Structure 1
């Protein structure tokens, strides 16, 4: 497996601008000289920037309640339940955030994700009472329930997606974008078994130089809380990452390249 664990390195320095706020945008300030990039009020970017965070110092926990060792991986934990099954891993966390945003906007018809075998799972059909039958590689819809757009039914839909989708299917759904055009909500992803995915949850810019920074969040294996990542290569600006036109992007548990950046299709 291709990953990078940097034991203790990130624990040796103070994170820049990490305060006591209750959301990502209020707790993690950009470095001196940088200001946050504008995000439209109802945009995916604004949703991610305003993700609620658990109290500072909270440890990441796995789906079964065990605590993840903090080996310099994360600086904050998103306040979102992840269920009690080993389902919401890396690509699933990206899917979860995108789906939660669209659900909040009541854009139900836009909530759809593909299974690894190519089957398209539409939330609107699920909410209309249809369920998904999986028999080997054969997947089909069948009518089973009454119409229900409740949070409970939405959450059940997500679990079935998590069970049958992953980095391989998600990477095929997303469209490649040049790293110079990065936006909040873009995804660094390598499809495979297991592959990995992290999502850009905020960005900032130096108005004098035009230099941009970004924040990344992930889940991992086994299923665990969504966490805001530290930057192991640039401790002076961690947890922010500097936006470069090309090259490797090293996160605490995985290595990407600038060509791995993709975006949800509008």
Structure 2
């Protein structure tokens, strides 16, 4: 059998050696592959946004707040982002996904959207005793107290209507629809009377990037000040590098949304190497490293 020329043999061996590298390049999640990480289909974060090449989402407990955010319904990808008044936001290039989180009122800006998400989660999970928020005046407004007062007022009025001459005890628990309406009224009251400062003073604790959890916050209390929620975390198991997705509301009040990473094409994840402060997001620059842990679900 005739031997192949040395140059041909060398080329074949060289090509075989490069096969793993080229196979990686054709992987759909490789950074040089033309496929974007953000898809047009999918109703949740895990369905809509893929992780970067070789990264995997961290494991979270089913039913946890992290699981709740990952499975929270998203608006269709073609939808524009709206302000509280029904008008389209002028900048439609900063977001890559929009949560189907209702805007309660014009007070639901950055901190308000985060509080609304936590409050909604606790309400749906039956964590009534944990639903409590400090207002700007320091008052601790508890959902359980609000609901008791609402039921008392309803029952008292019903008793008077049934017996104008003599008040008799009348008790009736709120039904599912009435209770939900009462909760929405409670939440509107909270959102109209909280601020970044009250949130920082009473309901957060300092944390670090190394200890970061889904639901923690990138924070700036400067002027004008801004917050971004850590909506998801993934890790490269080979290098232990971490990457996060950020979600934000903004002022004027607008739909809660996942923001893009202006440093990366087709990749909204903020990688560990991107956190050389100041950190630039599409509409805000965070001047200093300031991570906060929201204490709403702590024991």
Deviation for aligned residue 1:99:
0.8
- Deviation string 1:217-256 (CA, Å, 9 cap, x unpaired) is 11111111111100112335x2111135763332112222
**Structure 1, unaligned runs of 5 or more:** 1-12, 132-142
Q: Are 2:110 and 1:80 aligned?
A: no
Choose which of 32, 42, 47 in structure 2 pairs with 1:21: 42
- Deviation string 1:125-163 (CA, Å, 9 cap, x unpaired) is 1111259xxxxxxxxxxx644564722111111111111
3-state DSSP of counterpart to 2:188: helix
Following the alignment from structure 1 to structure 2, what is the Cα–Cα distance between the partners of residues 192 and 255?
Answer: 11
Following the alignment from structure 2 to structure 1, what is the Cα–Cα distance between the partners of residues 84 and 38?
Answer: 30
Following the alignment from structure 1 to structure 2, what is the Cα–Cα distance between the partners of residues 38 and 73?
Answer: 28
TM-score, normalised relative to structure 2: 0.75
Choose which of 171, 178, 192 in structure 1 pairs with 2:200: 171
- Deviation string 1:42-73 (CA, Å, 9 cap, x unpaired) is 11111111111111121110111100123531
- Deviation string 1:65-97 (CA, Å, 9 cap, x unpaired) is 1001235310011112213x3121110001011
Moved segments of 4+, more than 6 Å: none
Choose which of 127, 132, 152 in structure 1 pairs with 2:181: 152
Choose which of 100, 116, 133 in structure 2 pairs with 1:96: 116
Following the alignment from structure 2 to structure 1, what is the Cα–Cα distance between the partners of residues 290 and 184?
Answer: 29
Matches within 5 A, 1:109-148: 109-129=129-149, 144-145=153-154, 148=174
Deviation for aligned residue 1:114:
0.8
Q: Are 2:252 and 1:217 aligned?
A: no
* Map of 1:37 onto structure 2: 58
Following the alignment from structure 1 to structure 2, what is the Cα–Cα distance between the partners of residues 154 and 249?
Answer: 37
- Deviation string 1:195-226 (CA, Å, 9 cap, x unpaired) is 21110111111111111111011111111111
Cα contact 2:72–2:99 (8 A) shared by 1? yes
Following the alignment from structure 2 to structure 1, what is the Cα–Cα distance between the partners of residues 35 and 252?
Answer: 28
Mark the CA change 1:71 to 1:43 in structure 2 (over 3 Å): closer, same or farther. Answer: same
Cα contact 1:169–1:191 (8 A) shared by 2? no
Following the alignment from structure 2 to structure 1, what is the Cα–Cα distance between the partners of residues 49 and 285?
Answer: 23
Question: Whose radius of gyration is greater, 1 or 2?
Answer: 2
- How many residue pairs match? The answer is 241
Mark the CA change 1:130 to 1:200 in structure 2 (over 3 Å): closer, same or farther. Answer: same
Specify which structure has the bigger relative contact order, considering alpha-carbon pairs within 8 angstroms and separated by 6 or more residues: 1
What RMSD over aligned residues (CA atoms) do the two structures have, in Å?
Answer: 2.2
Query: Larger % of helix: which?
Result: 2
Following the alignment from structure 1 to structure 2, what is the Cα–Cα distance between the partners of residues 121 and 200?
Answer: 25
Mark the CA change 1:175 to 1:215 in structure 2 (over 3 Å): closer, same or farther. Answer: same
TM-score, normalised relative to structure 1: 0.83
